[in-house]
Structure 1
Amino acid sequence: MESFSTTSSLVRTTSCLSEILEMSDYEQLPSEAANNNKNNNRLASLDVFRGLSVFLMIFVDYGGSLIPFIAHSPWNGLHLADFVMPFFLFIVGLSLALVYKNVENKVEATRKAVVRAIQLFVLGIVLQGGYFHGLNSLTFGVDIERIRWLGILQVNCEVRGDLGPACNAAGLIDRHVLGVKHLYRKPGYRNLKECSNSENVSEGLPPWCLAPFDPEGILSTLTAAVTCIIGLHYGHVLVQLEGHKRRLFHWLLISFTLFGLGLILSCAGIPLNKSLYTTSYMLLTSASAGITFSALYVLVDIYGYKRLTFVLEWMGIHSLGIFVLVTSNLAVIAIQGFYWSSPKNNIVSLQSV
């Protein structure tokens, strides 16, 4: 009975994923670009960009422990991993513009988008922490009391306008609204020098070093949504403007303007901080997403160099399935199955050494 129940759950999950993935079928090329891509009316550069983002996500997650400067910045600063989330948000906005262009009933399309968003939210809760299998144990499941709804040692803050890890407004709001138990328990700021000497608070470490903090919290979600809106604008430019030159001119003008504003704010004292999703970080990473997409649009949809990017395009089309395999640790478990002499001698074990 238990085996049947598990199988049924997997079947329902697969069906749910298939329905969610149907939205990508509407991501079609505007007329001019479609003429240059007669064999496929999908926007290939968008698939490639999505695939590139998936590749970067996997690369920084598993390579960050070996190459620290590609992992998330502990607090202020910008590393390779800090571009992944803005890239995905930008893609979501751009995709929405294409989806709504190709449907007649906007109300029904909105209803489906809301339903799929709820499905993805539930799926994220199920997958968090590796629901199906732990890499070092056979336990599975999600602790309801500690479930991370958005993605501590209480700190007494009496400082306003603080942007440090201890007393920032984002952490304060999340602790009071979401609750300490529902925040991310391994924040990046634990890699700061102040927190790297020991894991024992009694040895003189600041108490916030062991405090949970959610980089995808309530306040940071507001500025993160702006990245999605910027991507939506790029999609509108793609839909409304005819001619590659006009589209590229608008995209690059917006991108370099946002990039410049981000640098100005950074120099003015608003740090580039992914955990807080500061305005400077949002502007600079959104601009980087726009420049990257523009380059891929030229390479793939204008000049048709698809052989160079076919792997990334495939990853982009099947991005959600790949994400599920990686997040649930199913892909890692499969790799662990190949070893020499002893089960402990596998690529995953070597990577964690």
Structure 2
Amino acid sequence: MEDPKRIEEGFGYAPIVKEENTADNHGKKEGRDDVVERRAVDKEEERMEPKEEQPPIKQKSKRVATLDAFRGLTIVLMILVDDAGGSFPRIDHSPWNGCTLADFVMPFFLFIVGVAIALALKRILKVESAIKKIILRTLKLLFWGLILQGGYSHAPDDLSYGVDMKKIRWFGILQRIALVYFVVAFIETLTTKLRPTVLNPGHFSIFTAYKWQWLGGFAAFLIYMITTFSLYVPDWSFVAHHERYIVKCGMRGHLGPACNAVGYVDRQVWGVNHLYSSPVWSRLKACTLSSPSSGPLRPDAPSWCHGPFEPEGLLSTISAILSGTIGIHYGHVLIHFKGHAERLKQWISMGLGLLILAIILHFTDAIPINKQLYSFSYVCFTAGAAGIVFSVFYILIDVWGLRTPFLFLEWIGMNAMLVFVMAAQGIFAAFINGWYYKREDNNLVNWIQKHVFIDVWHSNRVGTLLYVIFAEITFWGVVSGILHKLGIYWKL
């Protein structure tokens, strides 16, 4: 008989058969004397037979290869769009409405954070201890986010460091991940005693079994939607290029760049000087003739084109909690459903449903897909895409066993924080650039990019792309593989 607790443990655990309980059950039927006599005979036989080593009660769970590969893919996408997006604007962040390759990176991160939370917290021995670990990890992510994206580090091109506290950027990628992780993991931990051991029959039983997680996501959805469409946004002003600009608003429910509630909340909470100073909306046609590429602003560009905007702001991060909630649902499916077909049916049906809903909302102009606002349609579209990609990876790696072609993604995924800091944030490149000859731009990184890639292909775009693929992504794939073989991982 399979131990009912196994359904909470996920794959990689063997069912535990409790022999003592079996004897007790027989004792109830046959009488206490028979049980005592049988136990005495069993003990005598045990003394006569050689003792075998008993397996441990709790075995170490097998690492989910698909999880690491998906996380590695997300890091690779980040490096690709960050360092090659300038040469290929079509893969860079969408200036406003729409979705490009770069716009999948953040929600993919949050999706995989949700999946990982479900697996990491599937068994909690002490709630207080788990909460302390969640708080500590959240603080670590906030700290590293502030250091890497607050303005203190100017890597990789600028070798200077330091930030004016009057202009420090309080929010960023890691800060958003930290807050989403905190909320989703906190709900998962506090509801640990409410989790089912066995699901009831039915396709939607997995949803009702974790209703508190979905209620938390729904609460985030309500807060975001009510604030976005009901908050009054007044006129606002800022200083840029030693000149003061005024943006005329005085409206509610605006989803354009100038007067949306997402930007207004950040200006009120953080202050206009603490927001990201180079928002992607400056690549809109209204701002530059070089659109969709970056370029000088038009002389008649609206005042908001010069203004700051925080793409990882507070209100949009509340909406991003939904991405983590959908991710943790995929993790719950992985834990409770043991068959490949059952898991894929749950994952793919939900992924397709989210994609269809997002497309309807976007093309009816009800709620456009917008990464900067982290709109509801954007949540659905990117989470649906993440679910489909995750399912495809699961089929290739875990069902068909095609693990070798994706090993480099697994390696990067197992050391995601290291590669994010060293590669995506340019810390390693900044270290190499620190050893220059005569001029700061005369360094090894620029020399390799120019002479080994750009000059050989006689194309700045092709050369840049190949440099990113081979000198960055492939390089860090090899480094991550070596570190994996040595058992070295950087975890928060």
TM-score exceeds 0.5: yes
Counterpart selection for 1:225 from 321, 330, 346: 321
1:323 counterpart residue number: 420
Quote the offset at 1:128 in angstroms.
1.3
For the pair 1:259 / 2:355, whether they are aligned, the reply is yes
3-state DSSP of counterpart to 2:137 = helix
Tell me if structure 2 keeps the 8 A contact 1:45–1:293. yes
For the pair 1:31 / 2:11, whether they are aligned, the reply is yes
Aligned equivalents of 1:257 and 1:34: distance in 2? 34
CA offset digits 1:196-236 (Å, max 9, x no partner)? 147568x3221100100011112111211100000011111
Quote the offset at 1:282 in angstroms.
0.7
Aligned equivalents of 1:90 and 1:133: distance in 2? 29
Aligned equivalents of 1:31 and 1:323: distance in 2? 29
- The AA in structure 1 aligned to 2:428 is A
1:99 counterpart residue number: 120
Tell me if structure 2 keeps the 8 A contact 1:133–1:328. no
For the pair 1:108 / 2:200, whether they are aligned, the reply is no
1:4 counterpart residue number: none
Quote the offset at 1:347 in angstroms.
4.1
Q: Which runs of 5+ in 1 are unaligned?
A: 1-27
Tell me if structure 2 keeps the 8 A contact 1:133–1:330. no
- The AA in structure 2 aligned to 1:311 is F
Quote the offset at 1:331 in angstroms.
2.2
Aligned equivalents of 1:118 and 1:274: distance in 2? 25
CA offset digits 1:250-277 (Å, max 9, x no partner)? 1111111111111111122111110001
Equivalences for residues 28-177 of structure 1 within 5 A: 30-31=10-11, 41-128=62-149, 131-132=152-153, 134-151=155-172, 152=238, 153-177=245-269
Tell me if structure 2 keeps the 8 A contact 1:262–1:284. yes
- The AA in structure 1 aligned to 2:358 is G
Aligned equivalents of 2:415 and 2:368: distance in 1? 35
Aligned equivalents of 1:200 and 1:133: distance in 2? 24
Aligned equivalents of 2:309 and 2:14: distance in 1? 45
Aligned equivalents of 2:284 and 2:448: distance in 1? 28
Aligned equivalents of 1:34 and 1:76: distance in 2? 49
Aligned equivalents of 2:135 and 2:282: distance in 1? 36
Q: Residues 136 and 76 (structure 1 numbering): CA distance in 2 closer, same or farther, change over 3 Å?
A: same
Q: Residues 298 and 40 (structure 1 numbering): CA distance in 2 closer, same or farther, change over 3 Å?
A: farther
Quote the offset at 1:337 in angstroms.
7.2
- The AA in structure 1 aligned to 2:265 is I
Q: Residues 258 and 144 (structure 1 numbering): CA distance in 2 closer, same or farther, change over 3 Å?
A: same
Tell me if structure 2 keeps the 8 A contact 1:131–1:328. no
Counterpart selection for 2:288 from 163, 183, 196: 196
Tell me if structure 2 keeps the 8 A contact 1:32–1:242. no
Q: Which runs of 5+ in 2 are unaligned?
A: 1-7, 16-58, 173-237, 239-244, 290-294, 455-459, 465-492
Aligned equivalents of 2:449 and 2:131: distance in 1? 42
Equivalences for residues 231-310 of structure 1 within 5 A: 231-269=327-365, 270-310=367-407
Quote the offset at 1:74 in angstroms.
0.5
CA offset digits 1:12-57 (Å, max 9, x no partner)? xxxxxxxxxxxxxxxx98226999xx99810010000000000000
User: Structure 1 stretch 43-52 or stretch 323-332: which is displaced more?
Assistant: 323-332
**Superposed CA RMSD:** 2.9
Identify which of structures 1 and 2 has the higher relative contact order when contacts are C-alpha pairs closer than 8 Å and 6+ apart. Answer: 1
Aligned equivalents of 1:89 and 1:210: distance in 2? 30
User: Structure 1 stretch 234-243 or stretch 135-144: which is displaced more?
Assistant: 135-144
3-state DSSP of counterpart to 2:286 = helix
Quote the offset at 1:136 in angstroms.
4.1
Aligned equivalents of 1:34 and 1:180: distance in 2? 56
3-state DSSP of counterpart to 2:352 = helix
- The AA in structure 2 aligned to 1:305 is L
Q: Residues 127 and 348 (structure 1 numbering): CA distance in 2 closer, same or farther, change over 3 Å?
A: farther
For the pair 1:346 / 2:443, whether they are aligned, the reply is no
Aligned equivalents of 1:143 and 1:327: distance in 2? 23
CA offset digits 1:72-120 (Å, max 9, x no partner)? 0010111000000010000011110001114422331222012101111
Quote the offset at 1:154 in angstroms.
4.8
Tell me if structure 1 keeps the 8 A contact 2:323–2:383. yes
Aligned equivalents of 1:29 and 1:190: distance in 2? 49
- The AA in structure 1 aligned to 2:350 is I
Tell me if structure 2 keeps the 8 A contact 1:47–1:316. yes
TM-score when normalising by structure 2: 0.61
- The AA in structure 2 aligned to 1:188 is V
Structure 1 vs Structure 2: percent identity of aligned residues?
44
- The AA in structure 1 aligned to 2:389 is T
Tell me if structure 2 keeps the 8 A contact 1:29–1:41. no
2:430 counterpart residue number: 333
